[in-house]
Amino acid sequence: MFSGIVTDVGKVAALVELNGVRRLSIESTYDADTIAVGASIACAGICLTVLSCVGRPGGGSIFQVDLGPETLKITTAGNWQTGTDINLERSLRIGEEINGHLVSGHIDGLATIVAREHVGDATRFAFTAPMGLARFIAPKGSIALDGTSLTVNGVSRNRFDCMLIPHTLKVTTWDEKKTGDKANLEVDQIARYVARLLDVDALDAQRKD
């Protein structure tokens, strides 16, 4: 589990194709001694398993992860190249403070940036989501985009917007984003379960009728 609070911006150092699986080497500032093989790290919101991790001269680490065909198909990872910057977050430990919201690292689909504008010192991003996910997005609700926990400001059909403060732009990849770019989207887990309960209740009501 994650919280959507980005703790580092990593960079793709190398990628290798291995019989349908893409292996990435990612540079980070994380201490290699604190990253165990098998650990989970959210990379642009995607929960990936660490295969190996070594220290870098001067500090930090390079860790390797594998991306399967389905992940490459439904996330932005299929477009990552050497030099791509990636939001990183290590998995939560029991007892840690949760400053964002509970995030699983399982991507539901891609959001598309349709507008970006400055509002004072903040920046408003407007997105469109796949219509099938629109029902899970509500004003003042939480959403994870590229692994960043954000608050939804407004919603109209499958279009929604989020306001990002200067600090968020500074410590994530969001300042690089422009209109037309895609972002990995994970809907709020509570919204997902509520929708499922409503669907089951509706089916039960139909059966009784």
Which amino acid makes up residue 199? D
Nearest to 183 by CA among 47, 40, 49, 77: 77
Do 8-90 and 109-195 have matching folds?
yes
Collapsing DSSP states into helix, strand and coil, what is residue 149? strand
The residue ranges of every structural domain in the chain are: 8-90, 109-195
Amino acid 22: pLDDT: 97
Amino acid 95: pLDDT: 78
Q: What are phi and psi of 127, to 5 degrees?
A: -130, 160
Q: What are phi and psi of 206, to 5 degrees?
A: -65, -40
How far apart, in whole angstroms, are the C-alpha atoms of residue 14 and residue 108? 26
According to CATH, the topology of domain 109-195 is: Elongation Factor Tu (Ef-tu); domain 3 (2.40.30)
Amino acid 107: pLDDT: 97
Which amino acid makes up residue 140? K
Amino acid 191: pLDDT: 76
Q: In this predicted model, what pLDDT tens digit does every residue of 41-95 receive, in sequence order?
A: 999 999 999 999 999 999 999 999 999 999 999 999 999 999 999 999 999 987 7
How far apart, in whole angstroms, are the C-alpha atoms of residue 125 and residue 182? 12
DSSP H helices in the chain: 69-74, 166-171, 189-208
Which segments in the chain show pLDDT lower than 70? Answer: 196, 199-209
Nearest 5°: the CA angle 123, 128, 134 is 120
Strands 142-145 and 21-28: unpaired
Strands 122-128 and 159-164: antiparallel
Highest CATH level, class, for 8-90: mainly beta
Residues 6+ apart with CB under 8 A from 125: 113, 115, 116, 161, 162, 163, 164, 174, 177
